[in-house]
Structure 1
Amino acid sequence: MADIFAALNHLNQKMQGGGVNIIEAEENLKTFQKKLPLWKRRTENDNFANFPLLDDCVSKIEDVSGIGDISVPAELKQAIATHLDELAKSLDGYFPTRESYPAWLFSKSLVDSAKIALRLLGRKIFPSHCACIKCMTQPDDDLWFQKRFIRSIKPFLTRENKKLNEDTRAWWQTLQNDSSTATFGEVVEHLFQVIPGDDLYMDAGPERCRTCAVVGNSGNLKGSHYGALIDSNDVIIRMNKAPTSGYEEDVGSRTTHKVMYPESAIDLDNTTRFLLIPFKTLDLQWLPGAITNGSNSLYSYLPLRPKIKANKDLVLVLNPAFMKYVHEVWLDYRGKYPSTGFMALILAIHICDEVNVYGFGKDKDGHWHHYWEALTNKWLKTGIHDGNYECKVIMKLSEKFKLQIY
């Protein structure tokens, strides 16, 4: 009950305040209502990620007892399901649907015009750091976010930002047992003879409203019908080999940034940015050749493609210093290193004004798998990444109104 009341209090806070209008409040309410059936299904499958107090209690009992995974009594799960059903009915009764209003009230053109007008009015009354209704940074940010969000950290390797200090280099070289004898400085110099190396997206200000979708690969996207919503964002970040063809209704069709590493690299169209996450020097050695005439650096823990299709003028490389910052500051060094998805999410917080998150975490039955693959291993875990801790940080960011989880 405490977790459910906390969720309701969180919704209540999102529907109040000087910067909230009726359209935004209605969207927040509908998003919350859509989550209730998902929470119920997860609870029935012993997945309590949406109930952190209960989840923490179960984890502590497992640790103390030493007997491994325990099952929550069926009576308790039924009680939670009943509360969620009653809450859904209450919300449906207290808040009418859009269908009960005149159709013109929620037409796209009117909604867009109203949002612009309310945004401009809000900026007159409440000075803002961006042109969105809500911004990533606010004057009243609490200490938890202030301690972690370090704006001075540069997300990308650039011509002006290409050196690693000793601590960062030592941390980075342990990620995948970097055995290269090449000099980092020389490798990066050669890299920037091929890719631009400009400092992008550092244009935050009162005139910018950049909306971003970070699209994970979770099986929970199946049947979500989020495609059009995802495609409505300015920036759409996807990871690794995730396909869109054949899954457009659930995941959308647009991609502006594809986050990959050499072992996961696929061909891209000429308008999509390839964002490389380098885990070792070999990755930086492989890149220039792979996007031009073919690479000779092919010996990794998996065979590497000698060449991929990608627009070399749109290539970006994540800064190892930023990777270490994510691991150290946001995850307290949990897991060997952050997952690709979590690094992409923290990157979005740094370069966007509004962040919307899709396809993260387990599916509705509590399993980890990709939306384009059949579930063959129900016991699959998150490997070297601490998926549960990453999920808790993402939920915390949602509670702090820094992102919207779908």
Structure 2
Amino acid sequence: MGKLFAEKYSMDIPPFVGKNIDDDEALFKYGPPFGFHRFFDKIKNLLELLPEHDLPEDLKSKHCKRCVVIGSGGILYGSELGHLLNQYDIVIRLNDAPVQGYTDHVGNKTTIRMTYPEGAPLSEHEYPPASLFVAVLFKSVDFNWLQAMVKNETLSLWIRLFFWKEVAKKIPFTSKQFRILNPVIVKETALDILEFPKPRSIFWGWDKNVPTIGVMAVVLATHLCDEVSIAGFGYDLDQPSTPLHYYNNLCMAAMNRQTMHNVTGETKLLQKLVKEKVVKDLTGGIHCEFCNKDS
């Protein structure tokens, strides 16, 4: 990854935010999700609650770690990859993509659940006791929500009104199982690697392109592991009626409403990573070496 993107990719970025943030100017250049500009007190208060800021020692010390990032793509349904996916050292699942009821296809091992408040699973059954919760913070109330989850407190009705959908009321973890994704990884992914335009202030907030959680997770995985695979990735926008996810009835056409994301740009990035053998695509939705069509 570092060789592929040269100065656009920093090998030594810590994957999660640690307590020593005072001197890290890169963390405060932009607002969420690219940084903590104007949120110094909120992130400082949160970090005081988190005793751990890295992988658990048993994983961190493991030689030659293998990661798999499991997307939500409909291509996973019927794949029967569950047993294979369970063999990876680190299994990263995204947002509320369920394990319950789909284990034959997506496995049942979860090392990291990576999401933002509105994406977090509502069912406590989707949080295995030994896994980690990695939060991506996008807006002011996300800090409030995460603090309530870490402290096992009730989220106030006033705060809940600021989310665009129902959010989890409890994450059944101890404080040492929570992590905050380093926003510099998001910044590098968006502005340097994907070459999105820099965020610009407009009257009602910020105009910006933001990477999907999936692409953020793939870049995170390159910082955590020696080998990275993906499964369930790939948007075929030329097939609007095909299933978008493996677990619901949404169709591919729904992606046309996702104006914040640049699906075409992300696909080109993932294709490059697969073709250069930085990442292995287990389901062939990004770059299918065994398909007839030219991808």
Point out where structure 2 has 5 or more consecutive residues left out of the alignment: 198-207, 283-295
| Alignment of 1:289 onto 2:148 | yes
Partner Cα distance (1:349, 1:258) in 2: 16
Equivalent of 2:139 in 277, 280, 292? 280
Show CA shifts across 1:242-296 (max 9, x none): 1112211111111110011111222323211000001123212221212312233
In structure 1, what is the equivalent of residue 244 of structure 2? 369
8 Å Cα contact 2:33/2:136 also seen in 1: no
Show CA shifts across 1:182-209 (max 9, x none): 9623222321232224344899999721
In structure 1, what is the equivalent of residue 268 of structure 2? 392
Shift in CA distance, 155/368, structure 1 to aligned 2, threshold 3 Å: farther
Shift in CA distance, 278/149, structure 1 to aligned 2, threshold 3 Å: same
Partner Cα distance (1:373, 1:326) in 2: 29
8 Å Cα contact 1:219/1:368 also seen in 2: yes
8 Å Cα contact 2:67/2:92 also seen in 1: yes
Q: Counterpart of 2:49 in 1: which secondary structure?
A: coil
- Bigger strand share: 2
Shift in CA distance, 152/255, structure 1 to aligned 2, threshold 3 Å: same
Partner Cα distance (1:212, 1:279) in 2: 25
- In structure 2, give the amino acid aligned to 1:298: R
- Please give the TM-score of this superposition, normalised by the length of structure 1: 0.57
Q: What is the identity percentage for the equivalent residue pairs of Structure 1 and Structure 2?
A: 29
Partner Cα distance (2:229, 2:252) in 1: 28
Shift in CA distance, 257/163, structure 1 to aligned 2, threshold 3 Å: farther
In structure 1, what is the equivalent of residue 162 of structure 2? 300
8 Å Cα contact 2:83/2:107 also seen in 1: yes
Give RMSD over aligned pairs. 3.1
- Please give the TM-score of this superposition, normalised by the length of structure 2: 0.77
Shift in CA distance, 269/340, structure 1 to aligned 2, threshold 3 Å: same
Shift in CA distance, 301/289, structure 1 to aligned 2, threshold 3 Å: closer
- In structure 1, give the amino acid aligned to 2:179: L
Partner Cα distance (1:295, 1:207) in 2: 37
| Alignment of 1:379 onto 2:241 | no
- Bigger helix share: 1
8 Å Cα contact 1:271/1:311 also seen in 2: no
| Alignment of 1:259 onto 2:114 | yes
- In structure 2, give the amino acid aligned to 1:241: D
- In structure 1, give the amino acid aligned to 2:280: Q
In structure 2, what is the equivalent of residue 158 of structure 1? 18
Shift in CA distance, 253/304, structure 1 to aligned 2, threshold 3 Å: closer
- In structure 2, give the amino acid aligned to 1:154: P
Partner Cα distance (1:206, 1:261) in 2: 28
Residue 365 of structure 1: how far off its partner (Å): 7.7
Equivalent of 2:89 in 234, 242, 259? 234
In structure 1, what is the equivalent of residue 228 of structure 2? 355
8 Å Cα contact 1:226/1:252 also seen in 2: yes
Partner Cα distance (2:30, 2:216) in 1: 16
Shift in CA distance, 187/168, structure 1 to aligned 2, threshold 3 Å: closer
Q: Counterpart of 2:67 in 1: which secondary structure?
A: strand
8 Å Cα contact 1:220/1:364 also seen in 2: no
Show CA shifts across 1:74-132 (max 9, x none): xxxxxxxxxxxxxxxxxxxxxxxxxxxxxxxxxxxxxxxxxxxxxxxxxxxxxxxxxxx
Shift in CA distance, 401/206, structure 1 to aligned 2, threshold 3 Å: farther
- In structure 2, give the amino acid aligned to 1:310: F
In structure 2, what is the equivalent of residue 345 of structure 1? 218
8 Å Cα contact 1:159/1:197 also seen in 2: no
In structure 1, what is the equivalent of residue 39 of structure 2? 184
Partner Cα distance (1:364, 1:212) in 2: 27
Partner Cα distance (2:11, 2:83) in 1: 31
Partner Cα distance (2:57, 2:9) in 1: 15
Q: Counterpart of 1:196 in 2: which secondary structure?
A: coil
Residue 337 of structure 1: how far off its partner (Å): 0.6
In structure 2, what is the equivalent of residue 220 of structure 1? 75
Partner Cα distance (1:252, 1:363) in 2: 24
Show CA shifts across 1:134-183 (max 9, x none): xx77xxx4xx3333331122221111236663x754632588xx9xxx96
Shift in CA distance, 357/300, structure 1 to aligned 2, threshold 3 Å: same
Q: Counterpart of 2:12 in 1: which secondary structure?
A: coil
Higher deviation after alignment, 293-302 or 309-318: 293-302
* Number of equivalences: 259
Partner Cα distance (2:281, 2:8) in 1: 20
| Alignment of 1:331 onto 2:194 | yes
In structure 2, what is the equivalent of residue 196 of structure 1? 51
Partner Cα distance (1:161, 1:288) in 2: 18
